[in-house]
Chains A and B, each alone.
Chain A
Amino acid sequence: MDVTQETVQATPGHDMKAVEGLLREFVKALRAVQLYLPNNPMYENACKQLAKAFHNVWDQTDRIELLVKDSELLWEEVGVYKQESKNDGLAWLLYKDGIRGITFLPGVEETESVAFLNILNQVRTLPPESADDLLTLLWEQEFEFIRHEATELADADGDEFTKEEIDAPDSETVTAEVQRQMAEQPESNDFTTIEDSGASLLALNEEELAYLQREITREYEQDLRTNVLAILLDIFETQRNSSVRIEIAGILEKFMVHLVATGDFGAVLYLLREVATVTTRAQELTWEEKQGLENLSTKLSEPEIFAQVATGLDRNVADVREEEIEKLFSGLKPAVFEPALLALTQMQNEDTKTLLEDALIKMAIAHKDALIGALKSGDPAVLQMAVRFVKTLSTEGSVPHLRRLLRDGDDATRLEVIGALEKFATSEALDAAVVALDDKLRDVRITAARMIGQARHAPALGIIESKIGDDGPLKDADLSEKKAFFEAYGRLAGDSGITRLTPLLHTKGLLKKKVDPQVRACAAMALGEIGTPTAVETLKKVDDDKDPVVRNAVHRALEDSSK
């Protein structure tokens, strides 16, 4: 917005420059309000400068009355602000909604000027069909130091009323009629205390005043939305006309979406509760009418809608009771399973989280396909949660998907998957876990080795055997990993493994290669797992080994083998 100055004569006694300066600061402040948040230094500074500019003007005058034209503002008939483009600028912003005059009074700079700026900014972004404009918003503000005049053209709205002429009788007839009526007995008004001096106001007594106050409080404390829902449901129940019921069902659906968007979950839950009642109580419901009501639960299960519900209940500002949340979740449809899993991963409120989890577990049990479907999600968070569910429920038919995830999933997912496979411990799961022996994650490898060893899954022997050795793939592994693999080998190989393990344990002799004590210890543990007399003999030969790690391992192995 450019501000240019009209070349006019200043009115004697006033400083036009101060007003021009004020409007320049006003425009800057309006821009700042548009671009920045209130806590931004630019915003704060612009507001301060505006207040200062107002103070400069108050040194000269005690009111600023501006005439608003479509592209300029006039003060005492002098142009003090002009915008170059007709349809953009402060003047047009005021003019287009009907403002023709605006007055600022001292005190405006305290708080009202900033509030005014915010309203102007709000008006800028209102859609054409908005219920508000500058005039309606200003009306609601009740500014004390800002007054405005809006255009009121005589023919602007509505038709003039037409008056008819008075069709009175002639004056003699009128006079006679008046005399006749005056002579008749006057009527009494028995609801007032009448004296010739005039009936006085019917004063409200204390009780009536208190009653009114209670009623005003009740009016403004009522839950309007729930009240309106009750009305709609009443109409649904009492009117048997199908088109009316279907119309109401449609209204309830849209209304519910609005309630979710505004976070009024108390009302949403009220609605669902009452709909359940209506479905059983309302007479002669047709299939279509029933469907209309059931659509409400279906609507809640739409991903976008449910996401809002979950977020809202997580914050639970409405303080909805647990049993109501439980009811809401229990009404969800399988289509919402994946979005609900995602919501679960994001929830902060532990109580609500538990309720949702319980509901989803029940859903997963009843609708296995929904859980299996979630194992194909592209969202890692959803995948991991789904895998946890699979682990908890040991869901049939999930192993092939878990195998795929072991191959393709991210680190966190693979970790979850191997945990799930470990719990399954079926041969299918063990087959799937073999892949994990080569996983890049240590923990995955360890879990895989342990579960294979525990299960004595023979098909994995070859792979495990290839890993053990002094300078094999486990060379750089830590003790825990080495132990897991060696123990697994011991369980899988049996006596035939002694030949491989003995050279790793017995290193005496000049030509014998020095073996890492950890490897020797692990070899001892493996022999302990084998536990045959030959294995025990092999262990006893080194039960006094100089290396304490080896010696401890041998002793433990001998103990375990004797159990």
Chain B
Amino acid sequence: MTSPSREGLTEAVDQIEGVYRSEGKKFLIAFGSALRTRKLYPLENEQVQKSFDELAATARTLHQVDPTLEMQISEEFVYINKTRLRLGLEQYSALGHVMETFKNAGAGIIAVDEAVSREEWQELMSVLVEVKPHEDPHDYLEELLDALERLGVTHISLARAAESDQELDAEERAREVARRTYRQGVAVTQDVVNSVRMGRTANVRRMKRAVQGVVDQVLNNELSLVGLTAIRDYDEYTFTHSVNVCIFSVALGKRLRLGKRQLYDLGIAALLHDVGKSRVPIEMITKSGALTDEEWHVMQSHPWFGVLAMFQIHKEGDVPYRGIVAAYEHHMKVDVTGYPRPVRRRTPSLFSKIVAVADGFDAATTRRSYQNPIQPDDVLREMYTNRRRGFDPVIVKELVNLVGMYPVGTCVILDTREVAIVQGRLPEHDSLNRPVVRIVIDAEGKVVTPHPSADLNEKTPAGRFRRSIVRVADPAVFGIKPGDVLM
């Protein structure tokens, strides 16, 4: 049930953002080039003139989309008309120089309107190349603006980055770091699985770095990273699942007061817990529909497949023993009635039990095409109350404390009639039913983009909670994919 106009608008927005990204990069490079060449050579130099031609051309392209071109530069990010550019190595050399200049000038934003002339670009660069570090960037910016005015530059303006934008920056920065950490984890898991399939050793260093990154992120800004566990990439389920289990396990370990090094050990074990699936035929992994008995028997072998796989992909001195134990034990259940059944007497280790809980939660909250959706709160309830599931009750209790009554990714209806997706629980709050949410649909039933965060612990001046959860809802009813919202 989608309105054609909404669909068309969304597609148009995507196209525009695409233009900003591709042309924005060109504009940034051209801007950096013009600045650099102007610094080195006189105005009449051929290279300088060429760089101004390029700069004016890229600006004109962007002006076709919007008459005002706005470039915002923060410490790490560049936005063109509020669209963040994705930058690679080749853009960083341009970016560094431009960033330094803007920082020294005390400016965060440059706005250019479509009537800008070539001469104005030239005057702007002449002013910018003289910019040096100043004791008071605030006053300095004022001086620069006066200079531009005197030179007749009226279609280009500089401004400080707004405070709220700086906050947005900080939040966006945190999310970007989280996304990067997550992506690294997925890439590493992919590398490990492919190494097993191809019979070669894996890049252990990359794995170490990825897990260290997860630990750092969980210790410093858990919310952003835990939020990403709602990503459900069904084509690459094994990889995202392994990363999710790693994140949940480390976050649980943090609640259990494990030290940094112990969290790392746990993270490695969690990341590799399902590596045995690399020895299961791919058709069985990706099968949509229930497995036959024979297929299930093969799938149940993945714990010990994982043990062998870990010896295959590591050199002798690097074998992750805890990873092997967790891979072997994570389906055993606390009373060892699960699988595989050991011959020698065994009590599952703490790390295995943590990984089991994280694995159980993430697997159960992932919707498969042949399964009916299970809401995260239902999953938690089942894990906590049904002891036959074999999870360690103390660790499940801490999982509830970690994710709250409404775990990350849960779709909720608020008493304000808004529809939101739970991002996570802030550790500093004691309440389990007041998480941080991202508002997706407002009280009028309209999609809100970007999806603003709302902390349900927030109160009005009168002391009442601004928002409260009324009930859990099925996100599919509203056309929402929780992972995409939290990405």
**A, B from the same assembly:** yes
Residues of chain A from 138 to 189 with CB closer than 8 A to chain B in the complex = 139-140, 142, 152-161, 163-175, 177-179, 181-182, 184, 186-187, 189
Q: Which residue of A lies closest to B471 (CB)?
A: A186
Which residues of B sit under 8 angstroms from A167, Cβ to Cβ? 2, 479
Q: Is the CB of A227 within 8 A of B419?
A: no
Q: Which candidate, A201-209, A465-473, A549-557, is the interface stretch facing chain B?
A: A201-209
Q: Does B40 have its Cβ within 8 Å of any Cβ on chain A?
A: no
Check B221 for interface membership: any CB of A closer than 8 A: no
Assess the A233–B205 pair: CB atoms within 8 A. no
Stretch from B51-59, B123-131, B356-364, B393-401 forming part of the interface with A = B393-401
User: Can you give 22 A-B contacts (C-beta < 8 A)?
Assistant: A131-B208, A132-B205, A135-B212, A136-B208, A136-B209, A153-B88, A157-B180, A169-B2, A181-B473, A186-B471, A192-B405, A192-B433, A194-B433, A199-B432, A200-B431, A204-B398, A208-B394, A208-B397, A212-B394, A218-B349, A231-B325, A258-B317
A200, B431: Cα distance in complex, Å: 4
Residues in chain B near residue A159, CB distance under 8 A: 183, 187
Q: A167-B479, A177-B477, A251-B311 are in contact. List 4 more A-B contacts (CB 8 A).
A: A174-B478, A208-B397, A227-B349, A231-B342
Interface centre among A139, A155, A239 (most CB of B within 10 A): A139
Closest chain B residue to A182, Cβ basis: B470
Within 8 A of A (CB), among B287-325: 304, 307-308, 311, 315-319, 321-322, 324-325
Taking the complex as formed, is A541 at the interface, i.e. its CB lies under 8 A from any CB of chain B? Answer: no
- Which residues 6-58 of B have a CB within 8 angstroms of A? 6-7, 10-11, 14
Whole-angstrom CA separation of A123 from B357 in the bound complex: 38
Q: Which of B64-72, B142-150, B162-170, B254-262 contacts A (4 or more CB under 8 A)?
A: B254-262
Name the residue on B nearest A193 (C-beta): B432
Distance of A231 Cα from B303 Cα, bound (Å)? 11
C-alpha gap A55/B394 in the complex (Å):
51
B343–A238 CB distance below 8 A: yes
**Residue on A nearest B343 in the bound complex, by CB:** A234
Which residue on chain A has the smallest CB distance to residue B384?
A191
Q: Knowing A165-B14, A215-B350 touch, does A235 contact B444 (C-beta < 8 A)? A: no
Residues of B close to A172: CB separation below 8 A: 445
Interface residues of B (CB under 8 A from A): 1-3, 6-7, 10-11, 14, 86-89, 92, 133, 176-177, 179-180, 183-184, 186-188, 201, 204-205, 208-210, 212, 216, 231, 233, 256, 258, 260-262, 304, 307-308, 311, 315-319, 321-322, 324-325, 328, 340-344, 346, 349-351, 353, 377, 380-381, 384-385, 394, 397-398, 400-401, 405, 413, 415, 417, 419, 430-434, 440-441, 444-447, 470-473, 477-481, 484-485, 487
Interface SS, B side: helix
Partner of B417, one of A133, A178, A248: A178
Quick check: B401 and A166 within 8 Å, CB to CB?
A: no
Q: Are B260 and A142 in contact (CB under 8 A)?
A: yes
Residues of A227-261 at the interface with B, using a CB-CB cut-off of 8 Å, are: 227-228, 230-235, 237-239, 244, 247-248, 251, 254-255, 257-258
Write the nearest CB–CB distance from B48 to chain A, whole angstroms.
Answer: 25
Whole-angstrom CA separation of A186 from B477 in the bound complex: 18
Instruction: List CB contacts (< 8 Å) of A330-369 with chain B.
Output: none
- Whether B208 pairs with A235 at a CB distance below 8 angstroms is no
A166 x B480 contact (CB < 8 A): yes
A214-228 interface code vs B (CB 8 A; 1 in, 0 out) = 011011101011011
Contact B445–A175 (Cβ < 8 Å):
yes
Q: Is the CB–CB distance between B400 and A178 below 8 Å?
A: no
Q: Check B205 against A228 for contact (C-beta < 8 Å).
A: no
Query: Whole-angstrom distance between the alpha carbons of A169 and B209 in the complex?
Result: 43
B183 cross-chain contacts in A, Cβ below 8 A:
157-161
Closest-CB distance, A173 to chain B (whole angstroms): 6
A218-B350, A222-B349 known; A168 and B480 CB under 8 Å?
yes
* Residue contact B316 to A254, C-beta cutoff 8 Å: yes
A190 close to B (CB within 8 Å):
yes
Q: Is A168 touching B176 in the complex (CB atoms < 8 A)?
A: no
- In angstroms, Cα B398 to Cα A208, docked, is 11
**In contact, B205 and A133 (Cβ under 8 angstroms):** yes
> What 0/1 pattern do residues 433 to 444 of A give for CB contact below 8 A with B?
000000000000
Interface centre among B209, B324, B417, B485, by most chain A C-beta atoms within 10 angstroms, is: B209
With most chain B CB atoms within 10 A of its CB, the pick from A204, A234, A257 is A234
Which residues of B lie under 8 Å from residue A219 when comparing CB positions? Answer: 349-351
Q: Note all chain B residues with C-beta closer than 8 A to A164.
A: 481, 484
- Known: A168-B478, A175-B445. Is A136-B398 also a contact (CB below 8 A)? no
Q: Is A496 among interface residues, defined by CB-CB distance under 8 A?
A: no
Q: How far is the CB of B406 from chain A (nearest CB, A)?
A: 9
- Cα-based distance from A232 to B479 in the complex (angstroms): 48
Q: How far is the CA of A140 from the CA of B346 in the complex (A)?
A: 31
